[in-house]
Structure 1
């Protein structure tokens, strides 16, 4: 009898999961702004992954100096129109050094996106583990982990990151270090979200039934609680990625993030502040790349949040008009 019940319940559960995934994609595809943002993000990721191929097609690399392409008599201003743009240098060259801007820009995408995604993964891992452990532990464990989470949330991220980056030896790979520091210092909010959601989920009937059947705490967390945490965690993680890109750029701009010759958009902005009149493209290109990336990821994160929770209205209201809103209201009333 029990085998028959299991045989009938498993397909229903898998069908329910498949149906939920289809509904999520349908809601996400219905948001034009989110789909445009997803296309932009996919293009940025493709550019970052294909950076060696793209620079090989151009015939340049991000670290080679070209002193013959800058005018030393004018302080290192690129020779030629629009910062030295030409067939050999598609976006011109860097002032003083003559390094290729296109190569540094596409390799900088690797660093910025890689640091942001790695930091987000660390934040999600630490936050979920600590939040679930606090919610499932006894009163003393919950109090201890909750106070640690409160301390992490109260820490000033930039000040802590600046202090830690200043004391770590320069031999440690800088992009990895920046990602780990951001992840270890900024997981508190997602830890609070995971704890609150777990406290709600563990009071539900199916979790109580699993506990009465003899399942251990780890098995209950893995099989029953983590699937319920997926929606809020994915939603918040999607919004953390653009924030982490901004943090990495800020740290590199302050001179304590990614170090030369490794290219980074924030580092390019840091060294471009004195060239905005003589070579404006040196400032505008990384600034535009940062703006487009953060905007696209923010819009995509908002779209994911709305698709996972259709009851919540989009905060940005991009790509929605009065006709769409009235149509959604008619469908809801029907």
Structure 2
């Protein structure tokens, strides 16, 4: 069925060779996009920094929670002593105003929280969305109606308002990063469920799915063996675009004071505390804002590259560094202008005429 090995016929030789696997084609198309490769390198570096946060802070000799009151000028309202916010050998990015906590340590530990919450929330969204979408598409009319209306309700809910309401009533003793992850994941799965349902309905009518059904396979075996592989491309594409959106939501919730609570560092929380220091200590605002900007931009560009690599027919929104130009349209336009038919069409017409002549001779 769908596991059959595709073969292509080598032009002019009549021999057949195995077709290039989908994974190899994906990596080849992704490597052709330089912007996506740069974005992937940036994302990999950010993930490495987040994972190695304890090691990096140990090399610096600092931690994200220790106060250093001797490094701030209390007479000036708590501004760090020294240039560039107290940057030096002991504090690579300076210290926080008013508290003296190390900025580098809080920045790298904040990356763990922001990236971890965004990735975990994306996993929750994909798991719920795929399950609901496939169940709605494969169920009977009543199941489809029930799940579709529930999905419509979820989609209509304003994410930020519902998150604010839920986070405000939950006791503070509950682990805040876990709570933010669950809130984002449980509220924002509606869009992926709609995409999966529509894609599953289109796959149900294909021949290999019908053959699996006629061979006696159960509904969920068909879903697992035949439908889920076909859903991989749109799900991966949407997941790649969900991660930067979830990072922004987590930062916004922390900025509003209902997300991750001190002393746990978070980029959004750092922005909340920095809004009154942008003149006296601008680096306190620029560092977390710059980290958020770079992370969201890199993930967005990478998501666009993944989308284009999985669906080469879709034109990339970011043409920077693709290294290839689509000349098919230009060649066809030139051929039409000169009155020449494409070679494949001419060859097809010649073969058709020859076949007709052979049939007439055989009948004679």
TM over 0.5: yes
Distance in 2 (CA, whole Å) between partners of 1:327 and 1:81 is 55
The structure-2 alpha-carbon separation of the partners of 1:62 and 1:331, relative to structure 1 and needing over 3 Å to count, comes to farther
SS at match of 1:233: helix
Structure-1 residue corresponding to 2:21: 19
Structure 2 residue corresponding to 1:228, chosen from 227, 230, 235:
230
Give SS of 1:260's match: coil
CA distance in 1, matches of 2:115, 2:250: 10
Choose 1 or 2 for highest CA Rg: 2
Aligned to 2:131: 129
**Whole-Å separation in 2 of the counterparts to 1:306 and 1:269:** 34
What is the SS of the residue equivalent to 1:325?
coil
2:263 matches 1:261: yes
Q: What is the DSSP-based 3-state SS (H/G/I as helix, E as strand, rest coil) of the residue aligned with 2:285? A: helix
1:209-267 deviation line (CA, Å, top 9, x unaligned): 11111111110110000000000000000000000000000000000000000000000
Aligned pair partner of 1:34 in 33, 36, 39: 36
Give the drift of 1:73.
Answer: 1.0
Q: TM-score, normalised by structure 1?
A: 0.93
**1:258-304 Cα distance to aligned partner (Å, 9 max, x none):** 00000000000010000000000000000000000000000000000
The 5-angstrom pairing of residues 1-334 of structure 1 reads 12=5, 19-320=21-322, 324-326=324-326
Q: Deviations over 1:138-158 (max 9, x none)?
A: 000000000000000000000
Alpha-carbon distance change, 233 to 185 in structure 1, aligned in 2, over 3 angstroms? same
| Residue 318 of structure 1: how far off its partner (Å) | 2.6
Query: CA offset at residue 319 of structure 1?
Result: 2.4
Structure 2 stretches lacking a partner, 5+ long: 8-16, 333-341, 344-364
Q: Conserved in 1, the CA contact under 8 Å of 2:94 and 2:102?
A: yes
Measured at CA, do residues 193 and 253 of structure 1 come closer, stay the same or move farther in structure 2, by a change above 3 Å? same
Q: Which has the higher helix share?
A: 1
Q: Distance in 1 between matches of 2:209 and 2:196?
A: 16
Q: Distance in 2 between matches of 1:62 and 1:13?
A: 55
Return the alpha-carbon distance in structure 1 between the equivalents of residues 80 and 328 of structure 2: 55
Q: Deviations over 1:98-142 (max 9, x none)?
A: 000000000000000000000000000000000000000000000
In structure 1, the gaps of 5 or more residues are: 1-5
Retained in 1: the 8 A contact 2:80–2:95? yes
Aligned-residue Cα RMSD (Å) equals: 2.1
Please state how far the C-alpha of 1:315 moved relative to its aligned partner: 1.5
- The answer to whether the 8 Å contact 2:133/2:193 transfers is yes
Does the 8 A contact of 2:134 with 2:196 survive in 1?
yes
Q: What's the CA shift for 1:317?
A: 2.4
Deviating more after overlay: 310-319 vs 59-68 = 310-319
Matches of 2:104 and 2:331, distance apart in 1: 48
Runs of 4+ in 1 over 3 A off after TM superposition: 13-18, 326-334
Find the residue that maps to 1:153 and give its secondary structure. helix
Quick one: distance in 2 between partners of 1:309 and 1:95? 49
